[in-house]
Amino acid sequence: MKDVVNNVIRAEKSVKRLLSIPLLIAVSTLFMISYIYLIPPLSSPILPDGVPSWFSSLGFGSLEGDLKVYLWRFFLTFVFFGVLPFLMIVALGYKPGEVGLRFDFRNPRGAGFVFTRTFALIIVIAVLSGIVGSLNSSIFDYYPYSKTLAGHIASFWRGGAFFKGLLLLVLHGLLYFFFYYVPWEFFFRGVLIFPLLEAVPGLSRSINRGEFKPLGPLMLIALSIAAFQIIPSTMVHVGHPFVESLAAIVYGLYAAFITVYTRSIVPSLLTHFTVGFFTDLFIVLRMTFFGG
């Protein structure tokens, strides 16, 4: 009798989640376009100063150069890809672990994948990607998000103030990780992957239990669904260098596979951060020793 009741409850929960998928996609799209239209240059008609007056009144308006827009971008990413999507999935009845916020570092088929030799090789490739990216003229012109900050770091290093420059670089890395990459990966690789698996009866439950082979039928079905996030995550790059948009498609495929395989956003998060941070680092080094 208990098993029957549990099955009924599970079935009702599955139906509710299935019905919530269109709403989740619609609201997630609203978050995404709000983010896009509030960042320059599209925000210019409504935010001539680059940021709203209330943001400037917090003390950010007095920052030099592009620093206020730099912080505004982090704020928007944290809110529209982090805080609001998190509140949405909680309201829809999902637990954090069900949307990729798994930190089972002892499990090599979970977040523990980051301690494997395979992931070490992935990180090496990510660092090399950062080097190659920094040599591309369009990437060099676009990044880092704050040329003012990059200029200060390069100036400190040229002047021999290594630790001052390093402190600014570490601060940039921390802001980048927690206010940009964490919400970014949570939104695109968590919210836009795991709830959609509910569309195939029993698939989400099997994936969460690890009841699949790396290239078996269940994995391929899940990967097909997870690949959906490639479209929105790449479209957010419109206005970025074209080569980066192409790279976002390739990265989206990798992120889809590794996220479903590990059931965690951690491996994709660390990979994405490594590429972005080392791209910025090598651009700053290029500015320091070669002046661009």
CA distances, 285 to each of 156, 165, 202, 280 (Å): 11, 11, 50, 9
Closest listed residue to residue 255, CA positions, set 279, 280, 281, 233? 233
- Predicted confidence at residue 4, as pLDDT, reads 39
Q: How many folded domains does the chain comprise?
A: 1
pLDDT tens per residue across span 40-64:
889 988 998 889 999 988 888 789 9
- Exposed/middle/buried for residue 149 (C-beta within 10 Å: 0-12, 13-18, 19+): buried
Percent of the chain with pLDDT over 70: 95
The pair of three-digit structure tokens given for residue 76, joined into one six-digit string: 């928007």
Residue, of 198 and 270, whose pLDDT is higher = 270
- Please state the pTM of the whole predicted model: 0.93
Whether the per-residue pLDDT at 164 is higher than 70: the answer is yes
Q: In whole angstroms, what is the distance from residue 74 CA to residue 174 CA?
A: 11
CA 283 to mean position of chain CA atoms: 21
Whether the per-residue pLDDT at 210 is higher than 90: the answer is no
Q: What is the mean pLDDT of the chain?
A: 92
- Predicted confidence at residue 12, as pLDDT, reads 55
Helix 242-262 to helix 266-290 angle, to the nearest 10 degrees? 150
- Predicted confidence at residue 8, as pLDDT, reads 41
Residue, of 103 and 13, whose pLDDT is higher = 103
- Predicted confidence at residue 292, as pLDDT, reads 58
Whether the per-residue pLDDT at 1 is higher than 70: the answer is no
User: Which of these ranges, 13-27, 91-105, 254-268, has the smallest mean pLDDT?
Assistant: 13-27
Residue numbers of the domain that contains 119: 2-290
Whether the per-residue pLDDT at 233 is higher than 50: the answer is yes
pLDDT tens per residue across span 2-31:
443 344 445 456 677 888 999 999 999 999
